[in-house]
Structure formats: C-alpha cells, structure tokens
Amino acid sequence: MTARMVAARPVPWIVGGSLAACLAALGATGFDSVPEIVLGMCGPLVSAVVTCVLRERTAPERLGGVMMTAFAVKMLFFGAYVVAMLGMLNLEPRAFIVSFTCYYVALHLVEALLLKRQLAGTSPALVSAAIAGDGARQER
C-alpha cells in the first residue's frame, strides 16, 4: 500500500482501516463493549466519509468555504450524536467516549493529511483563497 493508492481512493481505505481498528478494539476488550465501540466509530466515520467526498468534488478555490460549512454542520451533528448515544441509547459512557474520541481524532488527522495532499500541487494563490474561503479570488 502506498500513499498514492490511499490518496487516489481514500474512502475504502478509511472505512477498511476503521473497521480493522474496531475489530482490534473489540478483541482487546473481550467483546464486552460491542455497541459502545461500534457506535463510537460510526459517527466519526460517517463524518469523515462525507467530508472526503465533499473535498474530492470541490474545486480548490471553493474548498475553504465548503470546509467551513462542513465544520459548522459537524459541530451540530456531533453534539446531537453524542447526546443521542448517551442519553437515548443508554450506552456505557466510558467505553463510548474513549471509542468516539479515538476515532474522532484519528479520522480528522486523516482528513487533514488528505486535504494537505490535495492542495500540495495547487498554486499558492489558490491555496490562500481556499484557506480564506474566498472563491472569488483569482489566481495571479
């Protein structure tokens, strides 16, 4: 597996890596916390996949605005997700929070690395426009 293969088709690698990590975590806990570990993975995984698809389908000059909107939507989604999992499903909090936090951090790191790789071949003016969220700025 090379970085180029992952960058070309990241969604299957993200899903596969998350499932492998989930199975390892389940095995390490003796399958005592199956719903907590699996549901701790699902929210961040869905978010990472949707963000990855948005990132791939967005032109570099529009990327900043799209990512800022995605960030706002993610804040609302994750707040509601954690409340629903802990409040309505009555999951064991410690196992769920550990699983959720690990997947959240790891998948956001993967998203950041993929975004960096996507913008690596882009001109500095477009990168600045993408970071600023200014789709109207033109490459000089």
Report domain extents, the chain.
34-131
Longest dimension (CA), the chain: 58
pLDDT digits (tens, 9 = 90+) for 96-126: 999 999 999 999 999 999 988 888 876 666 6
pTM of the model: 0.81
**Tokens encoding 89:** 């499903």
**Tokens encoding 50:** 């949707």
CA dihedral 31, 49, 104, 72 (to 10 degrees): -140
Taking each helix axis from N to C terminus, what angle separates 34-57 and 63-83, rounded to the nearest 10 degrees? 160
Asked if 103 contacts 78 with a C-beta cutoff of 8 angstroms, the reply is no
pLDDT digits (tens, 9 = 90+) for 20-67: 999 999 999 999 899 999 999 999 999 999 999 999 999 888 988 999
